[in-house]
Amino acid sequence: MAKAKETTPRSINIQNRRAGYEYSFLIKYTAGMVLVGTEIKSLRTGNGNITDGYCTFGADGTLWLHGVTIAQYTQGTYNNHEPTRPRQLLLTKKEMRQLENKSQEQGLTIVPLRIFIGERGFAKVEIALAKGKKLYDKREDVKARDAKRELDRNQY
């Protein structure tokens, strides 16, 4: 008897590269997302942009993801989703409480870092509690990155 091939979902990794330049990360969390059918299909084809994304807490204490664009599914019908709608994030109560308390401090925000498909096939978003960098911090990061690149180049 022939064994059926196991198909693994294609790994999707939509990253927010600008966030590492603009913010320094304090704590990272992995949260689930509440999506509709055409959104997950569109994400699996790699159609997403989280560059302008941010998170806020609603009046009832739920965490919402704003500014993230998931393109409409090309084969979707009239049931297609709104590309920039707010999406609810799923965390444990303890993580929500910690995040809400810390995010109320001055100068801290919650930014999405990447969207990926987990082991069980669910869409996940990695978020971070972040503090905005000053201009001189950004310059220091660029200098350190250039120095590291130069060292790596000279070693080989």
Label residue 63 exposed, middle or buried (CB < 10 Å: 0-12, 13-18, 19+): buried
What residue spans define the domains of the chain? 13-141
pTM over cut 0.85? no
Secondary-structure class of domain 13-141 per CATH: mainly beta
Cα–Cα distance for residue pair 34/133, rounded to 1 Å: 31
**Predicted local confidence at residue 2, as pLDDT:** 52
**Predicted local confidence at residue 14, as pLDDT:** 83
**Predicted local confidence at residue 127, as pLDDT:** 92
Q: What is the pLDDT along the chain (156 residues), one digit of tens a residue?
A: 454 444 444 577 788 888 888 888 888 999 999 888 888 888 888 888 888 888 888 888 899 999 888 888 777 777 777 778 898 999 999 998 888 888 888 888 889 999 888 888 888 999 999 888 787 777 888 888 888 898 888 876
3-class SS string, 53-93? CEEEECCCCCEEEECCEECCCCCCCCCCCCCCCCEEEECCH
Cα–Cα distance for residue pair 60/109, rounded to 1 Å: 19
**Predicted local confidence at residue 75, as pLDDT:** 75
